Amino acid sequence: MVNDSLRSVKVDLGERSYSILIGYGILPQCVAGLDRFALEKEAFVISDDIVYGLYGPKLEKLLAGAGCRIHSFVMPAGEEAKSWEQAGAVLQKMLENNLGRKAFVVALGGGVVGDLAGFAAALYRRGIPLFQVPTTLLAQVDSSVGGKVAVNHALGKNMIGTFYQPLEVWADLSVLETLPDREWRAGLAEVAKYAVIQDTGMYRLLEDHAREVLDRDPQFVPEVVERCCRIKADIVSRDEREEGLRSILNFGHTIGHALESASRYKMYRHGEAVAIGMVGACVLAQEMGVLAEEGAAARLKGLLRGWELPVSMPAELLEPAAEHLIFDKKVVGREPVFVLPQAIGRVTVEKGVPWDLIRRSLERLTEK
């Protein structure tokens, strides 16, 4: 049966184009559509030990019903698991099962699972088909779309990776109902990011209905996810490998990634670090005279606070975060590249930002 509430967003990349399917309870319909792809009936499901317990058996039952032989790999949950060692364990299991080149990987989980599963799919036999099944808000609006796959290193987040697009993204909104509140709020930081960089209309919606969005009101969730995906799909379609325009998606991420690395991925969820990073970018934009819209920084800070997201960092992270900025993957000639807001809905990319301004901005970002 066709789900009338199914929404579809296309990522236009020529022969590598694919769709993001969005809606409540759409997994059966998505699996039923596998016949549209010329694949072997062999699925390799990668998930973590939390998500797999919730949705792994259901997904595998659907895949078995579609005639697939199923292998699975369950990894530990958490950012620390997104490592070279864990990727090696996944590849080892793939090799042991002697997967063919048209067997396919199904990444069932949040951003960590999606990144690591995509990374392994890209490496195995120089690339086998991949489906992303994101189970967190952050993954549905951001990390599952666009083909960035990677693992972390102690010296920097996502420093070892590549671009590898999925065949399709299945964003079943019903799985968000079991998402812990902290993970939901972390995803909202990425939602706010999209509104700030390119969608004043969505930003007004988020401000006007902040409580309903926080409470996962189904009247607003599908629209919010779809609008974020449309923004990212448009940007990725025009700049797949981040040679220009796509860099605006890094708003809040330069400082955010430094905070994650400095705290060894133990203190913050990715979206929480991005929330602090967006506020830091606003502070830096004010220092540089780039932020022209009066009150924009206060509006963003208020929205994030209303969603119970952090907007400052502890003073003890100041020095480690400053050091980790050097290893950010966007650094050019040892000078960080920042995406800075000019107004709600408009950002600019600034290269060669003076270190003294960065340092001063980080100091203003510390908790008093």
> Which one of 15, 85, 98, 126 is the catalytic residue?
126
Angle between helices 111-123 and 84-96 (to 10 degrees): 50
Which candidate in 168, 190, 260, 272 is catalytic? 190
pLDDT at 2: 41
pLDDT band of residue 336 (cuts 50, 70, 90) is: confident
The reported pLDDT for the residue numbered 337 is 86
Is 63 within 8 Å of 42 (Cβ atoms)?
no
Match 């966007």 to its residue by tokens: 330
Spot the catalytic one: 257, 301, 324, 330.
257
Q: How confident is the model at residue 27 (pLDDT cuts 50, 70, 90)?
A: very high
Query: Which stretches of the chain are assigned E, i.e. beta strand?
Result: 7-11, 18-23, 42-48, 69-75, 104-109, 130-134, 148-153, 156-163, 168-172, 338-343, 346-350
DSSP, collapsed to helix, strand or coil, labels residue 366 as strand
Mean pLDDT of the 323-341 span: 77
The span from the CA of 23 to the CA of 280, in Å, is 34
Q: Is 232 a catalytic residue?
A: yes
**From 42, 242, 260, 272, active-site residue:** 242
Active site residue 69: no
CA–CA distance from 323 to each of 126, 191, 355, 358 (Å)? 35, 28, 11, 12
Question: Catalytic residue among 158, 193, 230, 250, which?
Answer: 250
Domain 181-365 falls under CATH 1.20.1090.10? yes
pLDDT for 104-142, tens place per residue?
A: 999 999 999 999 999 999 999 999 999 999 999 999 999
Residue type at 254?
A: T
pLDDT of residue 45: 98
Sequence ranges of the domains in the chain: 7-178, 181-365
| Residue 250 annotated in active site | yes
User: Which member of 82, 148, 185, 330 is catalytic?
Assistant: 148
More confident residue, 105 or 335: 105
Each residue of 140-155: pLDDT tens digit? 999 999 999 999 988 8
From the candidates 82, 193, 246, 269, which is the catalytic residue? 246
| Catalytic-labelled residue, pool 71, 193, 270, 301 | 270
Phi, psi of 93 (to 5 degrees): -65, -40
- The verdict on whether 126 is a catalytic residue reads yes
φ, ψ at 28 (rounded to 5°): -60, -40
Decide if 209 is catalytic.
Answer: no
What pTM was estimated for this model as a whole?
0.94
- Structure-token pair, residue 147: 């083909």
CA 106 to chain centre: 17
Q: What is the pLDDT of residue 333?
A: 60
24 against 354, higher pLDDT: 24
Give CA–CA dist 256/144, Å, rounded: 19
CA dist., res. 27 & res. 14, Å (int): 26
Q: pLDDT value at position 29?
A: 97
Q: Is residue 257 flagged as an active site residue?
A: yes
For all residues of the chain together, what is the average pLDDT? Answer: 94
Q: What is the CATH number of domain 7-178?
A: 3.40.50.1970
Q: How far apart are CA 163 and CA 148, in angstroms?
A: 5
Residue 368's pLDDT is: 58
